[in-house]
Amino acid sequence: MRNKVTSYLALLVLTSLLLGAAGCRASLKMATTTSLYDTGLWGYLEPKFEEKYNVALDILSLGSGAALEYGKRGDVDVLTIHDKANEEKFIAEGYGVERVPFAYNYFLIVGPKDDPAGIRDLTPEDAFKKLFETKSGTFISRGDNSGTHSKEKAIWQAAGFEYKTIEESTWAKPAKPEDAGYLEAGKGMGPVLQMASEKQAYTLTDMGTYLSYESKLELVPIVDRGSILLNLYSVIAVNPQKVKGVKIDLANNLVSFLTSPEIQKLIGNYGVEKYGLQLFTPCAGAEPQ
């Protein structure tokens, strides 16, 4: 009987120690753009990071604009996003330590196979201009201040339009709301692609998310060339000198992890076997020329 009690007590002590060790495991909060999450890339990389550094990675999937706000408030320690202009502003204002590129792909304008607006193979700028001037097709915008939404705004500007003009036009606000040809969804990339497919509309998407959803969609690439379509992903550690409570050592570990040769190779190979194409091209620390 005594031996049984001793064994039981030993088991309790061991269990307590194991639970204590698990409870002491550090956690790192990261905000990531939805395209990196929806493609499954973070689901693939997360356990590898956690095992390497013995840390729990707490991932929030958000548009890049919302991710930057979370960083400013100190709700996350590190960001992985794709909105260069606002990333640079974030750094300039002291909220981020350094903007470190780690992968890229390209944006696409996708739409119905029959291309009712006749924009196939135009430049992105000319495609947007024709969509607005002819109003011969429906366009669904992310409308969520994400990196994709910022890119859309940049294309409108390059096409000669102020974004506010588009938002306030009769295309977006016709006499009958059901006749709107320009819709702001306020959703992530995956749901917007599904919405565009259902409505047989055009939308701007990153290549990775489109490829991961392609089999579920009745949409095809319509415009896929133009330097403005470059989509660059960067990792940014939040600056602990500006934002209190940031776990900078753990954040720096994530920066090192994403730019390491081993993980760069995994990023480059991710999705190739399934889709026959790279979803992401690795570019540790450097912007593609």
Q: Is 221 helix (H, G, I), strand (E, B) or coil?
A: strand
Question: Cα–Cα distance between 217 and 198 in angstroms, integer?
Answer: 8
Cα–Cα distance, 159 to 90 (Å, whole number):
26
Q: Which of the 8 DSSP states describes residue 228? A: G
Are 271 and 39 in contact by the 8 Å Cβ rule? The answer is: yes
Rg (CA), the chain: 22
Q: How far apart are CA 98 and CA 87, in angstroms?
A: 9
- In the numeric block, the tokens 């497919």 are attached to 197
What pLDDT score was predicted for residue 285? 80
- Superfamily in which the 106-229 domain is placed by CATH: Periplasmic binding protein-like II (3.40.190.10)
Specify the pLDDT at position 135. 94
- In a structure prediction context, what are the per-residue pLDDT tens digits for the chain, which is 289 residues long? 545 444 444 444 443 444 344 457 899 999 999 889 989 999 999 999 999 999 999 999 998 999 999 999 999 999 999 999 999 999 999 999 999 999 999 999 999 999 999 999 999 999 999 999 999 999 999 999 999 999 999 999 999 999 999 999 999 999 999 999 999 999 999 999 999 999 999 999 999 999 999 999 999 999 999 999 999 999 999 999 999 999 999 999 999 999 999 999 999 999 999 988 899 999 998 888 7
- For CATH 3.40.190.10, the residue range(s) in the chain are 2-104+232-282, 106-229
For the record, the structure tokens of 258 come out as 């994403």
Q: Under CATH, which architecture does the 2-104+232-282 domain have?
A: 3-Layer(aba) Sandwich (3.40)
pTM of the model: 0.85
- For 143, phi then psi, to 5°, come to 60, 30
pLDDT of residue 3: 52
pLDDT value at residue 111: 98
User: Measuring CA to CA, how many Å separate 96 from each of 20, 28, 68?
Assistant: 33, 16, 9
H helices of the chain, where? 2-23, 34-38, 41-53, 64-73, 84-92, 124-134, 147-158, 163-168, 189-199, 207-213, 248-259, 261-269, 272-275
State residue 10's pLDDT score: 46
How confident is the model at residue 17, as a pLDDT? 42
pLDDT at 116: 96
What is the bridge-based pairing of β-strands 26-33 and 78-81? parallel
Q: What is the pLDDT of residue 25?
A: 83
pLDDT of 70: 96
The one-letter code for the residue type at 72 is K
